[in-house]
Copies of this chain bind each other. A is one copy, B any other.
Amino acid sequence: MSYTEQHFPQEPTGPKVVTDSIPGPKGKKGIQSLGEVFDARCVYFLADYQKSYGNYIVDADGNTLLDCYAQIASIPLGYNNPELIKVAKSDEMVSAIVNRAALGNFTGVEYEKVQRSLLKYAPKGQKYVWNGLSGADANELAFKAVFFNYQSKKRGFDKQFSSEEEASCMENQAPGNPELAVLSFARAFHGRLFASGSVTRSKPIHKMDMPSFKWPKAEFPSYKYPEVDNKEYNAKEDERCLAIVENYFKTWHCPIACVIVEPIQSEGGDNHASATFFQGLRDITLKYGAKLIIDEVQTGCGGTGIMWEHERYNITPPPDLVTFSKKMQSAGYFFHDKELIPNQPYRQFNTWCGDEKLIMLAAAICKEIQEKDLLTSISKTGEFLFGKLEELQKEYPVYLQNLRGKGKACFVAFDMPSPEKRTEFLNKMRISGINIGACAEVGVRLRPTLVFEKKHAQIFIDVLSKVLATL
């Protein structure tokens, strides 16, 4: 029996659309009313989470959609997963909800076990974790760890702050508040607060009107597909982009303390890069005394068929920090070098220092993935799915451009010929029973749960074929 047969015995056998449009009349009315108290302009449809189940999301009108987007790539194990419901109902969870601790000051007796249970699933080579609350928060906390480390190394780890540093930082001035940069890449997405927003380079809407740090933007490889026919071009593209990175290290007006990069640029268009590129970043950061942060917010926790996508590239030595959120439900960064623990207490600190209930949930999700071997099953689904997409691509080369994500489970994307066609496509897919997401200007991205199986992929392909025929 497959995972969904065992754990979602009542899962629908396919999507079912009962209204002429999505949202239907109930949904439309609900969204209008919601709009009085909430910014409802981005709502695709109102969901009924108590009725949603496994891979299917049910809306206010009773439409049942196969969910290939999964809350912007964040639902890991399907809706109302019975194993997670057990965790949610446990005494430990109830206590974590009603007695939320200031984890750094008054840690609970049970917390060491919780922290260790999460660390079991750390990326290869990583030994510690610091907890945050969202992807943006995770990245900014990682920046703090890097900046503290950079300046402490310069000052001497055992040295106190000087009185000049103490006085100047209170005025937001150097030397206490030094000018240090984070290098990121064109089309990157790392969050929408102010430091995370400064390294995000995906779309103007993510950045407009915000004061920002003047940090360098390098170029991320733009490969040609299929890869097998473009090896030489793509290799040169790696070289070109790495040279740009190194040039920034040589010429930037202030120290670049770290590079942040996604293993696959997701929001920015599902842009992949090679092992050579990532190892090149590792080599450059080592050469110039900078840290390498891998942002696994969207890729991490199994979506690509391995727990942490960057492990695929065997980066040596491993990256200094790996950030996570989304499917993990909790957020934060893994690291391995003790020197990234600040040399004084209360530097990396805040009231809650994470959220124990989310950390418990994260550990339970990882455990379920491992125990039920969900990486193997999602990889098999992906292999089947990609094969089918390649076949369809031959038939519809205009609508399935730059098909990418081969061998990366269902973390798959392709491009439509125009933003308008993409909108038409997404709407037609939805009214045909498939909820699916966009990325960048013309990209379509699949981000199903980890319990998306061959039967679900087949349904997706069947609907896709029909929709493509109408474009």
Contacts and interface: CB of A to CB of B under 8 A. Distances in A.
Given A34-B111, A80-B95, A209-B147, A136 B106 contact: no
A14 interface: no
A75 interface: yes
A467 interface: no
A95 B119 CA distance: 26
Contact of A46 (B40, B72, B107, B214): B107
Interface stretch (A171-179, A279-287, A299-307): A171-179
Interface string A441-471: 0000000000000000000000000000000
B47 A101 contact: yes
Nearest to A67: B106
A104 to B, nearest CB: 5
Oligomer copy total: 2
29 contacts: A30-B112, A31-B107, A34-B111, A42-B346, A49-B95, A49-B96, A50-B91, A71-B101, A74-B351, A79-B99, A84-B97, A88-B94, A88-B97, A88-B98, A97-B361, A133-B133, A134-B352, A147-B210, A147-B211, A148-B209, A151-B209, A161-B208, A172-B207, A176-B209, A177-B208, A177-B212, A181-B211, A191-B350, A193-B194
Nearest to A135: B351
Contacts of A240: none
A396 to B, nearest CB: 27
A350 B191 CA distance: 8
A208 to B, nearest CB: 5
A464 B435 CA distance: 62
Contacts of A49: 95-96, 99, 101, 108-110
Interface string A127-153: 011100111110010011001101110
| A interface, size bucket | 35 or more
Interface in A80-122: 80-81, 84-85, 88-89, 91, 93-102, 104-112, 115-116, 119
Contacts of A152: 209
A74 B353 CA distance: 13
A369 B79 CA distance: 34
Contacts of A313: none
A85 to B, nearest CB: 6
Nearest to A437: B105
Contact of A30 (B109, B137, B180, B198): B109
Interface in A177-191: 177-181, 186, 191
Interface string A14-39: 00000000000000001101100111
Most buried by B among A37, A81, A91: A37
Contact of A204 (B106, B173, B176, B357): B176
A228 interface: no
A463 to B, nearest CB: 19
A161 to B, nearest CB: 6
A323 interface: no
Interface of A: 30-31, 33-34, 37-50, 52, 57, 60, 71-72, 74-75, 79-81, 84-85, 88-89, 91, 93-102, 104-112, 115-116, 119, 128-130, 133-137, 140, 143-144, 147-148, 150-152, 161, 165-166, 169-173, 176-181, 186, 191-195, 198, 201, 204-205, 207-215, 217, 325-326, 329, 341-342, 344-352, 357, 361
Contacts of A109: 30, 46-49, 60
Contacts of A191: 350
Most buried by B among A201, A204, A342: A204
Contact of A74 (B102, B135, B204): B102
Contacts of A135: 350-351
Given A134-B352, A137-B133, A207-B177, A172 B212 contact: yes
A367 to B, nearest CB: 15
A204 B98 contact: no
Given A97-B93, A137-B137, A34 B105 contact: no
Contacts of A344: 205
B97 A37 contact: no
Given A79-B99, A100-B71, A349-B42, A208 B137 contact: no
A42 B105 contact: yes
B43 A107 contact: yes
A102 B100 CA distance: 23
